[in-house]
Amino acid sequence: MRNAVILCAGAGTKAWPYAEIRCKPMIKVSNKPIVAYSVDTLLELNFEKIVIVGSRFIEEIKSYFRDYKNVEVIEDKAPKGTAFSLLAAESLIGDNDFLALFGDTIIGKGDIEALIKTYKENECYTALLSKSNSRNSDIICCNTNEQGYLSEIIGHAREGSGNFCAGFAFKSDIYEKLKYNSCRFTSIQVGMMPPIEGYIEMTLSDEIARGTRIKAVEAQESVFDIDKPWHIIEANEYINRVRCSALKDNEMAQGASIDQTAVINGFVKLGKNSTIGKNVIIDGNIIVGDNTHITNGAIIQGNVVIGNNTSVRNACFVSECSTIGDECIVSHAAELDGIIFTRVYLYHYMELCGIIGENTDLGAATVCGSLRFDDANTIHNIKGRREFPKDYGDAVFLGDYCRTGVNAILMPGVKVGVYSIVGAGVLLNKDLKNHTLLYTEQNQVERHWGPEKYGW
């Protein structure tokens, strides 16, 4: 098998605010777009043709992969769901067997190899199953029988196996069957309300009812279906640990250097012309890109990934498993626990826990609350639905092209839309929409005062 289709045409609305100026598969995890993990793994496995089907913001996908010889990006001009996006690649795949993967899902190389192997051994459609960290009511559940074949596919069930389909291996005859997708998920429990959308899983559910056998293989590695903002942090933490734990010695590119006063309790990978300067403390393994400088007493914990052309300096603190993007500045005792995208500035005694979108400038002493006084889980609102994240629910999520004023306070779990501003002194305790300025007005009282108030 040497052909694959990666589906990137979804709207990504549940990942708000991070799919507002980009398609969701181009969100960066550990400084790399989600979809690039699948592409790079497939190329390692010698795939000869990889078709990416995009829609919104397809231009960014084309730009990123323009130098990849085996990758072709095509557009689904009227997306109606994964089944129909997969159909858009029919003419390019032809009569060949192929893998179908989701652009917003990260799968380990070993599991993709197992999917291919199982398909070849059984000579039938094969689905890669993974346990979900989400509730059954948030996923399309896939149940299996004793022989290891799919027995039932149920959409957003109240009860189920907790398994979802992370990818597929298909014969080319799947295309004819996709054409009969009803564009409405009928395999549901009574009382559920499916959207009008054509899912691959609905086609497979129909085929099971028609007697088609679909082999299942369970993933042995962690699989990340990135659907909501906190899933980005979850995947980032895992991948940072994997990447950094692979370091067994310092790796120094041309022009890289470490000052003799730096204290490093671990290994570092430094890109071209990057430096670790005076009095820096690094507690664990870290990976640093090109032309990046860590100086003046910066403190960095382990499993941290830092991009290119970035400055980390002046007694700032970077927490374990954080990621800093390209062209960022973290300085003046700022504290970071989470992810900042490209060109984010953290200055002057601020504390951030969560995700900060691209080109965001944070005012001095901007802080976020990361622990509720009642120790309860923060409830999130995703497209009008109450969500209860198992992890990272207390993080804050600032979109791209945002700003904050001095002394802004962001309460646990708040999300800020793109092109928005949280003004000076604002205590933000609810989500802020895109294209919004929020500021506070004071009621001031002016009175006479003087020595006579003190008995003179």
Which domains does the chain show, CATH number per domain?
A: 3-227 (3.90.550.10), 233-438 (2.160.10.10)
pLDDT for the residue 14: 95
Residue 412, both tokens = 């646990």
**CA pseudo-torsion sign 46, 47, 49, 52:** negative
DSSP bridge partners of 225: 105
- The pLDDT value given to residue 320: 97
Q: 240: Cβ–Cβ under 8 A, 6 or more apart, which residues?
A: 30, 303, 304, 305, 321, 322, 323
Residue (of 168, 163, 162, 228) closest to 200 by Cα position: 168
Residues forming a β-bridge with 52: 6, 73
Q: Given this model, what pLDDT does residue 107 score?
A: 97
For residue 131, list its beta bridge partners: 163
Average pLDDT per 10 consecutive residues for the chain, totaling 456 residues: 96 96 97 98 97 97 96 95 96 96 97 97 95 82 92 85 91 96 90 91 95 96 95 97 97 97 97 98 98 98 98 97 98 96 93 96 90 79 88 94 96 96 96 97 92 92
Q: What is the pLDDT of residue 347?
A: 86
Closest CA to 294 of 264, 254, 337, 251: 264
Model pLDDT for residues 149-190, shown as the tens digit of each residue: 999 999 888 877 788 999 999 999 999 999 999 999 999 888
Cβ neighbours for 48, distance < 8 A, ≥ 6 positions apart: 2, 3, 70
Half-sphere exposure of 256 (CA within 13 A, CB side): 19
Q: What is the pLDDT of residue 135?
A: 77
Beta bridge partners of 337: 353
In eight-state DSSP terms, residue 15 is: G
Task: Give me 97's structure tokens.
Answer: 């067997």
345 bridge partner residues:
329, 361
Among residues 348, 355, 292, 6, the alpha carbon closest in space to that of 168 is found at 6
**Residue 132's pLDDT is what?**
84
Q: Give me the pLDDT at residue 442, please.
A: 87
Q: What is the pLDDT of residue 84?
A: 97
Query: With contact defined as beta carbons under 8 Å apart, do 261 and 244 qualify?
Result: no
Q: Which residues lie below 8 Å from residue 249, measured CB to CB, with a gap of 6+? A: 267
Please state whether 343 falls in left (phi above 0), alpha (psi between -120 and 50) or beta: left
